[in-house]
Structure 1
């Protein structure tokens, strides 16, 4: 079963806002076995919208449209869909009552004609009640395609997808099962992994597909199985994952794309009752930010010193001036002093330090752009590793963050 997603709005096409709606909708459809074959962004233009609807007619079973349902004159989606379906707008008593309650009850002001117009829907449409806002969702069928129109406001769209759209799609359509399993790896590049698992990949059953999803410092391997028997698909996926663990188990740090390394690391720190702190230079606090982004991080994350300037390393972290003069501020010796200092200051089991040249300029060091030293202290043990993350600046920082978390994760596993 196939679906297309259309986002309507000039603000998307000019880059003023990022379309996050399509991503959310696609994920929810995938969970119920509906394949999204296309995503489009269309301007607030009647001709463009009509042409798009016509092109998708009978090509897919479901078309989900977001945007253009507000109270202003430039929101033309509702009228255009009505025209496409040879329909007329009528006032929905249920929607009107909801709009009145919201405007008059919550906002404490009289309802206007613009507000009343929110209650107009195509006469052939089934209203999808939107308790999060004034613009209702609409469900219309023309020939072999269901057209679903939703507000573009993300929290309103999500409410309607979860509470109205998905349940109705499940009830209306027979769908295959789609099972995904995402394996998260750190510390090895995509091409090297592909070489290691080539024979395994070639022997995968025809109903299981593998996708490589690389990003700085990590590669996600996503297995997708499609078929009529959910239990058999899950068994088959787990069997292949077991084979994969035998081949590259040393770099697998977790499963499922909703569990990045900081989540996996946080759970490990919590389970072992360990604490962590950071002293950062070239990463500018991004390691700390990444660790702290996880719910419950206060249980194990004690704090960070962002010693971006050389004098701050000396004054706050007590890095020896002579060590800096003799070895450069970007050096293994400085990284070691930084990590030991912050571990002592924060009284943690574990500490991370970074010092390097992210570029484009070298700053207070002669080390090449892309060079980063990462220091790790765990209890009484300490070590520093040197990396060359290349360019540009953003890549250097992102890879340094990922590598630092990977190093800590692997060291904890050894304990």
Structure 2
């Protein structure tokens, strides 16, 4: 009678719950090592999410600023002559620019070259503080988007008298906290009463370090020659580029090559681009930190395999397949990385929201940054745990159980 061969029993398939349970065994038994390994992953992910979040928040703040100030502001300033000397714009350049169809508003400032600014007559002549005096038009704030922090702007009456509005930086250097009838500064040897203090002007930063006086009083008492040094224009968005092309020739028809035309919002955008380049550098640092964290996870898993050879041998003796052993250690590596990744995402979001709140920015953390961070951790965990998992699955039961 021939014996009937019995079929080999098919190993039970592990459910997802079982995979998670056996994968968490190593983390529960060695919590300190697991924490330190996950910390390396968390630092890398937090750096990446934080850098992306802060860069996005800064960009959102720039967009909000530009939306409030407008991107249709163009400035016209004198360049240099063919002989390399500083050019001068005609005194009627402002009136000529206002005739351009799409131009909605135009205003001018004129730097008073020989007028030094001091807090009082007792200040040494050499200590100018880098401040300048400007003759300004009454419609300047509306054109450049300037606001007052204290006091009032010049009007049709005060522009004829020694009254001044000072920029935010100038107020700080002169020690002027607020405007008032008793607050005076010396401009070109003449005492001017400070009637207003400007808030910082994002699209006309020269005004921040300037003392602004009326056009008529500048000509009458400070020797101003009436030539504008900067013209500000607001135009319809649809016709902005067309206006930009004709501004130089309109401001100075005789020598358009001696006129410079710029767009202040482009400078802000360039500044943001510089910040973005720095953010990319920090993002690279975060990637290096993540890589180091992944090496730490791989090292932890290799040591775990060496320390748990007896456990592996016992499981194999009780019927666990190589695939199940491999799945166990791979799941442990993924869980370890996932813990670090979740912690890093939360830490990066916390840093972003905290700094954005402190800076007064809108808090923006792109969804792709958090999703990408978690995906990166799982990828790192899979790569870091693959070799130890394969090594563990290749151990034979007898070899593993014979290990002291």
Normalising to structure 2: TM-score of the pair? 0.19
Normalising to structure 1: TM-score of the pair? 0.19
Q: Mark the structure with the bigger radius of gyration.
A: 2
Greater fraction of residues in strand: 1
Greater fraction of residues in helix: 2
Larger relative contact order (Cα-Cα within 8 Å, sequence gap ≥ 6) = 2
